[in-house]
Structure 1
Amino acid sequence: MDLDLAQVRAFVLTAEELHFGRAAVELSISQQALSKRIAALEARLGARLLDRGGQGVRLTEAGRRFLAPARQALAAGDLAVAAVRDERRPLRVDVWGHLYAPMRTLAPVAARAEGLELELGHGRDLPFVAAALLRGETDIGFGRVHPPLPEGLTHRLVRLEPVDAVVSADHSLAAEPALRPEQLRTSVLWTPGPLDRLDFLGRFADHFGVTSREQGPNLGLDHFAGRIAADPGCFSLLPADCPLPDVPGVRSIPLVDPIPLYAWSLLWRSSGEPPPAGPLVEAFLEEAGRSRWLEYDPRRDWLP
């Protein structure tokens, strides 16, 4: 069956907006023309993709199944047109791990890479960015990669960053110049989100025997620091190079024996030829050599 990509695009935009008016504006066509395109696609497929009722627009079960491959079809069509026209577009890079400020690492490296133009986006977490990569909606991901990684993706480690403990100035260990991770066992690990989405914090707690854990919403670094400052019994973790906001009553203390390392990686589709991340990987490896970003000693460091 041959699909009309104009009809597929009409469906995808409507499915994303769940509103015919907004989708029609996005396509610069009338709502009537939009409805005709979707109706023609449904007739071609022999299945209703959208329910149009008093409660608004909703995807049918068939529509939910069709949405992801429809996005892939559009991405492939756009790439085919760009290849014929020899169009050069910016690399689309989605980052995650926002509390740990991935742009601290990505932005200066990208700025030094000659001729590399990036279009930046913000993903919710690794599964979210991985799905966007597989759908062809973005080219590269940047953040912490951990298993299980979906089939069809590959990654490259580009930075290992020491992690500090962040505690209240009233914490019993706040005056220490450095801490061993095991000293935090009797404190409460506070996490900005559920641990099943925060792989590094979960592995740290399990490995070093931190059994008391509390979670709250990720409302940014200022809220994070304020929450830590207000509770002398809790702690959390931040990369050592991540500057704390100007919040009184919070301390960052280096961790030693071992030093926990937070891993940053580039992630992309393994089917690409050449790999879209190639120039960015090269720029990262150059910076890693200058700044010793990939040094690791198992006698001194802990890398989950």
Structure 2
Amino acid sequence: MDLDTVRTFVAAADAGRFQEAAAELAVTQQAVSKRIAALERSLGVRLFTRTARGAELTIDGQAFLPHARELLRVAERAAASVRSGRRPLRVDVIASRGAASGLMRGFHRAHPEVDLDVVMLFEIEAAVAAVRSGAIDASFRAVAVPGRPLPPDIESVRVLDEPLQLLTGPAHALAAARSVPLARLAGHRIWMPGIVPGTEWAAYYADLVAEFGLTIEATGPNFGSDALLDTIADTPALATFTGGHTRLVWPDGHGLRRIPVTDPTPVYPHSLLWHRDNPHPALTTLRAHLAATATGHDAAGTWSPAWVTGDAA
């Protein structure tokens, strides 16, 4: 059902004259008559009768009028829901406990007036496709994975270098260390069942292993962070890497240790991705907030893969 014909019907019903409805809609009286006639053909009923005083609703017209008004209200609400600045800003943070989620919590505290929808997409291909289609406004990712450059319509800016920490149980050989040089981890078993081939973090850890001779095991099913922490706490031979900004909670009895890694400190690069033609005003606010709170990247004494890009915006 054409909304212009419905809008014209309501205007004519309220005015009682086609001529006044035409003036309100800024069209000709002939256009009003044609729209009403088209609506009547579509519905299979007469909506108006012509009288000396103008146009009066028939019984069918009276029955249709409240529904016509509701159709226009629904259409307006639908348009408002996607109108620039009216709908929530939709941002992909990958996981609820990661650094990107923390960045968005900081943004929300600084800008509580901005409505947010936070989503979690696993694969970078899905995230980039969602950004390009407009399903989401932005995504936090590591860019650019070797062999998979971003499409030319996707912008990116590096917003956070997250230092890695070693997470051990209380009986691990390194548990008492206040910090540990990266080279000292060679020969220790680092267990990370969450590494999935093809992801940007898999590419990151593959380069880390190749450059520093580490042993990272991704064997076994991934039952999530809680199960990982249970195993690390109970198994002295295993440790794992975690991001310094990643939120982890474990029972008091676990006695886990978060140990800074140094000489150099591996940092995981987080970038914000968005479509260059996205007009949402809150996206500009988010980018400005991240730019103001960023601490820089590629600092002395840190390491990240050669393929990691800096500001591409």
TM-score when scaled to structure 1? 0.64
From 230, 241, 246, give the equivalent of 1:242: 246
**Is 2:223 aligned against 1:219?**
yes
Runs of 5+ unmatched residues, structure 2: 1-77, 306-313
CA shift at 1:256, angstroms? Answer: 0.7
CA-CA distance at 1:275 after TM superposition: 8.0
Determine if contact 2:97/2:248 at 8 Å carries over to the other structure.
no
**Structure ID, larger Rg:** 2
Matched residue of 1:196: which SS?
Answer: coil
Residue 160 of structure 1: how far off its partner (Å): 1.5
Q: CA deviation at 1:133?
A: 1.4
Aligned to 1:159: 160
Identity of aligned residues (%): 26
Question: Structure 1: how far apart are the matches of 2:83 and 2:260?
Answer: 53
Distance 1:190 1:144, change over 3 A: same
Quote the residue 1:204 is aligned against: 208
Task: Quote how far apart the aligned CAs of 1:168 are.
Answer: 2.3
Q: What is the deviation of 1:150?
A: 3.2
Aligned partner of 1:134 in structure 2 is 132
CA contact under 8 A between 2:170 and 2:256: conserved in structure 1?
yes
SS in 1 for 2:240: strand
- Whole-Å separation in 1 of the counterparts to 2:204 and 2:180: 18
Aligned runs of 1:1-304 on 2, under 5 Å?
A: 81=79, 88-98=86-96, 100-113=98-111, 115-147=113-145, 148-151=148-151, 152-191=153-192, 192-197=194-199, 198=201, 199-247=203-251, 248-272=254-278, 277-288=283-294, 293-298=295-300, 300-304=301-305
CA distance in 1, matches of 2:141, 2:176: 32
1:196 CA displacement: 3.4
Aligned to 1:49: none
Quote the Cα distance in structure 2 between the aligned partners of 1:85 and 1:186: 56
Contact 1:266/1:277, CA 8 A, preserved across alignment: no
Are the structure 2 counterparts of residues 257 and 84 from structure 1 closer, same or farther at C-alpha, using a change threshold of 3 Å? closer
> Once the two structures are superposed, what CA deviation does each residue of 1:58-94 show, in whole Å capped at 9, x if it has no partner?
xxxxxxxxxxxxxxxxxxxxxx955996661111111
CA RMSD of aligned residues (A): 3.0
**Counterpart of 1:102 in 2: which secondary structure?**
helix
Does the 8 Å contact 1:97/1:143 carry over to 2?
Answer: no
| TM-score (normalizing by structure 2) | 0.62
Once residues 235 and 132 of structure 2 are traced to their aligned partners in structure 1, the CA distance between those partners, rounded to angstroms, is 42
Separation in 2, partners of 1:128, 1:260: 27
Q: Tell me, which stretches of 5 or more residues in structure 1 are unaligned?
A: 1-79
**Structure 1 residues 233, 82: CA separation in 2 closer, same or farther (over 3 Å shift)?**
same
